[in-house]
Amino acid sequence: MNAASALATADTAPQSAAADLLPHYMLDLRQMLESYMTPEQVRQVERAFVVGERAHRGQTRKSGEPYITHPVAVARILAEMHLDAETLQAGILHDTIEDCEGVTKDSLRGDFGDNVADLVDGVTKLDKVQFASREAATAESFRKMLLAMARDLRVMLIKLADRLHNMRTLEAQSGASQRRIARETLEVYAPIAQRLGMNKLKSELQELSFKALYPHRHAVIAARIKSMIGNRREIMSKIEAALSARLKEDGLHARVVGRVKSPYSIYRKMLGDRKTFAEVMDVYGVRIIVSKVSQCYQALGTAHAMYKPLDNRFKDYIAIPKANGYQSLHTVLFGPAGAPIEVQIRTDDMDVVAERGVAAHWIYKTESTPANNAQMRAREWLQGLLDSQRQAGSSIEFLEAVKVDLFPDEVYLFTPKGRILALPRNACAIDFAYAVHTNVGDHAVAARVDRQLKPLRTRLVSGQTVEIVTAPSAAPQPQWLEFVVSSKARTAIRHYLKQLQHEDAIALGHRMLGRALADIGGGLDALPEDALRRYLDENRLRRLEELLSDIALGARMPALVARQLWANEGQSAAAPRDAVRISGTERGVMTFAHCCHPIPGDPIIGFLSAGKGLVVHQTTCPNVVEMRKQPDRIVRVDWEPEVQGDFRTQLKIEVANRPGVLATVAAAIAETNSNIENVEYLERDSISASLLFTIEVRHREHLNDVMRRIRRSDVVQTVQRQSG
């Protein structure tokens, strides 16, 4: 019997007979569906089961169970969220295209319609496509899934349900697979669930991942929590009862629910605050749920009247919701036993959205139907993902950009007109500029933070009002990538620099290939045109510019390309020609090594690194010894007579440890028109201190001038350049 016949049989059979054909786990799902779906919608889901069961027949999971039990379990998780029939159909069929012969997107479209087929295709991995590495395959699969999610949010809901059931049954996997899957869940899927406001699902994913990655730590913390609950259960019950009674006295009908933090949340707090379990005091929490928003603030007053609040621990996420739509009042109180108690106050609707996020009150949302706060914010985030992927250079780069955006810690900032923007923790003024608009970021020159003029690298904190100063001639700088943290800013800057770098790469690649050809007695101009065209065709390059750019960026070795291009390979190499000369304008396709910080005037050597392009080192750098083991990657380089720009270097300065010494040294450096990028203490005692200054200079003569000026200070004992 084919799928169509099975469907016909299921549709025409009496309801009781059809029910008899279903296994017990499907009957349990039907019972859940009947609580909120129409009979026709229930039959649609059961039709998907018939096709899915037949497609997966003979397949088993590593636990030995029939494979179909997994898709049905995924559908149960989706049904717990009261999602629509199409989503549940896709949940049951989500592995059929990938794992089952004869099932295609077109066949699903014919049986279940475009929406279900698109949902299944969005979740399907790209196992049949060949990638350079597992990392690239994972990133491309993730990219496809996110783009499908941007078209239809239900794709991610299915994927999260799929991942949750896989985590619940993780023990069937090998130890290495358990750790890999758990780490991926913790780094990617749990943060996505949080970004979509699905806190209940997020918490379970985190807890299961923590248990798989660190079983001993999880067991120890869980045991300590259980022991503590036993000791303090009576105190917590009294607090809940006292709060309930006082709220009732104040005319508020509220539910007071006690809760205990999970082992993973306590573990994160121990790590983040560097505390032992005994020092993590706010293990207990209380949630107060009321009917109206105004009652939230009344309940807050009641709670603060009963127990003293901790200073600086109140947060109003109702007035300023989190980026995922979460709303609640947070405060921490001193309980009767002296232990802090975390209190959350919210309405019934806020509670549902806090637990389920975008899946709360779900009737499949279209652009014309009203959405909850989490759904609206998810759409804004997804639109940002679409913008990022258009500019990202690769799937891996896109995945890294998304990971940056998934961190839960945020700062809330205001535009001069009162608009609220949420940015990742440690965001700077450039991140803010790009959050306002890409054009604002591209032309930013400074920022006014609370009306005070600040540089663009200034880190921002919640509550500040930020205004960006722009200029038509301004443009993104490569060093901005060192201190931006948001994916939108990073992607936009990279996109601009790639366009700018392309011309630089072609020019540098031309010089490098020309030198390599000259070394074997040839030249680019003398190369036969048919030899060049044959090489480009064999390497799937459309034009010479692509080859030159690849050489400059380290993707191809100039010496190897030269030998392959030049037909007369047996000819003995000519005497080495001049080195490739550096003018300082090639920063987009050339890196000056951080290990030795070469500056104009230093003897230098180049090393081609895939992804970084040409990396310039001092010839005395300790790393050069290792590089010479790969002679094909070594490039002879030298400075042009006139070099442009400022170059980073480091000075180790021994000083007397006295008040004002840092300012004295900084002033001496400033007198020479050198910019200070960073200062750190290496060693320090009551008598002396060792400082490491990272500064910018134009050339060695400029550096010598800086060092002479520093030595004149009576607080300075020695000055040494750090160069390897």
Assess if residue 479 is contained within a domain.
yes
Res. 7: pLDDT tops 50: no
Give the residue, 495 or 621, on which the prediction is more confident.
621
CATH number at residue 464: 3.10.20.30
Give the residue, 127 or 157, on which the prediction is more confident.
157
Residues 146 and 233 in one domain: no
Instruction: Quote the tokens at residue 669.
Output: 């450096």
Residues 62 and 199 in one domain: yes
Assess if residue 427 is contained within a domain.
yes
Would you place residue 373 in the very low, low, confident or very high pLDDT band (cuts 50, 70, 90)? low
User: Three-class SS of residue 393?
Assistant: coil
Residues 189 and 331 in one domain: no
> Distance between CA 345 and CA 299 in Å, rounded?
7
Sign of CA dihedral 648, 654, 657, 659: negative
Of 41-45, 142-146, 476-480, 525-529, give the range with the top mean pLDDT.
Answer: 41-45
> Distance between CA 183 and CA 189 in Å, rounded?
10
Give the pLDDT confidence of 445-475 residue by residue, as tens digits.
889 998 888 889 899 987 788 999 988 878 8
> What is the value of pTM for the model shown?
0.57
Instruction: Quote the tokens at residue 7.
Output: 């469907």
Would you place residue 274 in the very low, low, confident or very high pLDDT band (cuts 50, 70, 90)? confident
Single-letter amino acid code for the residue at 595 = C
Residues 480 and 535 in one domain: no
Helix (H) or strand (E) holding 334: strand 329-334
pLDDT attached to residue 408: 46
pLDDT attached to residue 554: 67
Single-letter amino acid code for the residue at 131 = F
CATH number at residue 283: 3.30.460.10
Q: What is the mean pLDDT of the chain?
A: 81
Active site residues: 98-99
Assess if residue 161 is contained within a domain.
yes
Sign of CA dihedral 477, 479, 483, 486: positive
Residues 512 and 401 in one domain: no
Q: How much of the chain exceeds pLDDT 90, in percent?
A: 26
Would you place residue 569 in the very low, low, confident or very high pLDDT band (cuts 50, 70, 90)? very low
Give the residue, 281 or 608, on which the prediction is more confident.
608
CATH number at residue 665: 3.30.70.260
Distances in Å between the Cα of 678 and the Cα atoms of 238, 335, 453, 649, 706 are: 54, 45, 21, 11, 16
Domain's final residue, options 161, 181, 210:
210
Indicate the range of 24-33, 63-72, 187-196, 531-540 predicted with least confidence.
531-540
Residues 476 and 505 in one domain: no
Determine contact, residues 201/165, Cβ cutoff 8 Å: no
Res. 586: pLDDT tops 70: no
Residues 355 and 391 in one domain: no
Provide the domain count of the chain.
5
Of 176-190, 327-341, 503-517, give the range with the top mean pLDDT.
Answer: 176-190
Q: Which domain holds residue 244?
A: 215-359
Of the CA atoms within 13 Å of residue 438, those in its CB half-sphere come to 13
Determine contact, residues 638/598, Cβ cutoff 8 Å: no
Task: Calculate mean pLDDT across residues 356-385.
Answer: 63
Would you place residue 574 in the very low, low, confident or very high pLDDT band (cuts 50, 70, 90)? very low
Domain's final residue, options 160, 177, 210:
210
Residues 401 and 469 in one domain: yes
Q: How much of the chain exceeds pLDDT 70, in percent?
A: 81
What is the distance in angstroms between the CA of the first residue and the CA of the last residue of the chain?
Answer: 73
Give the residue, 722 or 403, on which the prediction is more confident.
722
Residues 433 and 580 in one domain: no
Residues 575 and 617 in one domain: yes
Give the pLDDT confidence of 48-82 residue by residue, as tens digits.
999 999 999 889 888 888 999 999 999 999 999 88
Residues 136 and 225 in one domain: no
Instruction: Quote the tokens at residue 654.
Output: 């021994």
Indicate the range of 238-252, 379-393, 503-517 predicted with least confidence.
379-393
Assess if residue 640 is contained within a domain.
no
Indicate the range of 48-62, 110-124, 309-323, 389-403 predicted with least confidence.
389-403
Assess if residue 639 is contained within a domain.
no
Assess if residue 312 is contained within a domain.
yes
pLDDT attached to residue 230: 66
Domain's final residue, options 301, 326, 359:
359
Residues 226 and 354 in one domain: yes
> Distance between CA 210 and CA 165 in Å, rounded?
16
Assess if residue 641 is contained within a domain.
no
Task: Calculate mean pLDDT across residues 232-242.
Answer: 81
Task: Calculate mean pLDDT across residues 346-354.
Answer: 88
Assess if residue 573 is contained within a domain.
yes
CATH number at residue 48: 1.10.3210.10
